[in-house]
Amino acid sequence: MSVFAHLVEHLADLLQPLFHASAAAAAIVLFTALVRLLVHPLSRAAARGQRAQAALRPRIAELRKEHGKDREKFQKALMELHAEEKVSPLSGCLPSLLQMPAFFLLYHLFSSSTIGGGANTLLDHKLFAAPLGDRWVDALGDGGPFGPAGLVYLALFAVVTAVACFNYVRTKRTTAVAAPVTGEGRSETEQATAAALASVGRIMPFMSFLTLITVAVVPLAAALYVVTSTAWSAVERAVLYRDMPGAAPAAAVLG
């Protein structure tokens, strides 16, 4: 973790002439952008995978009709179809999973009072009036929601809400297009599963709003990572999925 701390400090030193006291906060935003750039090829691959999945829906429907209630044969045929077309059903999860280590590093870095046996000097850095190691509850106790630190959080909440509303509209379109339907050729178990997925689909549009909770409870440095990554995801998905019906739903926390 000390190596990571030195990286943040070095980036902050480079950005200090431009951002002054908020240089460390700017370094976290820059670090997040670098992580997202590294993950971007996987995001592009995930977009290609979801396009391929959408193209396979008619063939999957044919397989379901062909094998009727024989679930084992249907699953085997489905796996063969995915292998033949080189489509991975899990490809869309990789970008979010690979970002998790960076998020947890920031979380632990700005939750620790010491690093390598010495004082954690990163905790002295601020974003305007809000210390990067503090949480929203600390801002509420130091001036309230409209105090200097509270206003920083209100700005972050405003950004998250705007992105969540954008994702809400796009996710509603996605779930409307991709919603499973019950019908002939499906077993009772498959119909029950489809009904459960339809229920999840009604909840999915609201998932992005959970990011507000994350921003409120984690250290401000980690919250900056979440806000930057979520905004990046919204723009990235709008571009990568612009030619698809609806759009892939953005992740609730990291996108």
pLDDT digits (tens, 9 = 90+) for 181-238: 444 445 555 555 555 545 555 666 677 889 999 999 999 999 999 999 999 998 998 8
**pLDDT top residue among 65 and 234:** 234
pLDDT at 171 over 70: yes
Predicted confidence band of residue 250 (pLDDT cuts 50, 70, 90): very low
Do the Cβ atoms of 31 and 50 come closer than 8 Å? no
Whether the pLDDT of residue 179 is over 60: the answer is: no
Which tens digits make up the pLDDT trace of 14-25? 999 999 999 999
* Kind and range of the H or E run holding 17: helix 2-19
The residue extents of the domains of the chain are 2-240
Interatomic CA distance for residues 241 and 251, integer angstroms: 15
**Calpha distance 137→219 (Å, rounded):** 10
- Report whether pLDDT(178) > 80: no
Q: Exposed, middle or buried, 23 (CB in 10 Å: 0-12/13-18/19+)?
A: buried
The token pair at 120 is: 């954690």
Mean pLDDT, rounded, for 45-57: 76
Beta-bridge mates of residue 66: none
Q: What pLDDT score does 158 carry? A: 97
- For 252, the 3-state DSSP assignment is coil
| pLDDT band of 245, cuts 50, 70, 90 | low
According to the per-residue pLDDT averaged within each range, which of 73-87, 139-153, 157-171 is highest?
Answer: 139-153
- Tell me: pLDDT of 44 over 80: yes
| Residues paired with residue 118 on neighbouring β-strands, in sequence order | 115
Report the pLDDT value the prediction gives residue 78, as an integer from 0 to 100: 75
Residue 191's pLDDT is 55
Is residue 108 very low, low, confident or very high in pLDDT (cuts 50, 70, 90)?
A: very high
Q: What angle do CA 69, 70, 72 make, to 5 degrees?
A: 140
pTM of the model as a whole: 0.78
Q: Copy the structure tokens of residue 88.
A: 């991975």
User: What's the pLDDT score for residue 248?
Assistant: 46
Strand partners, 115: 118
Residue identified by tokens 């509209």 is 169
User: How many angstroms separate the CA atoms of 145 and 136, rounded?
Assistant: 9
Asked if residue 246 has pLDDT above 50, the reply is no
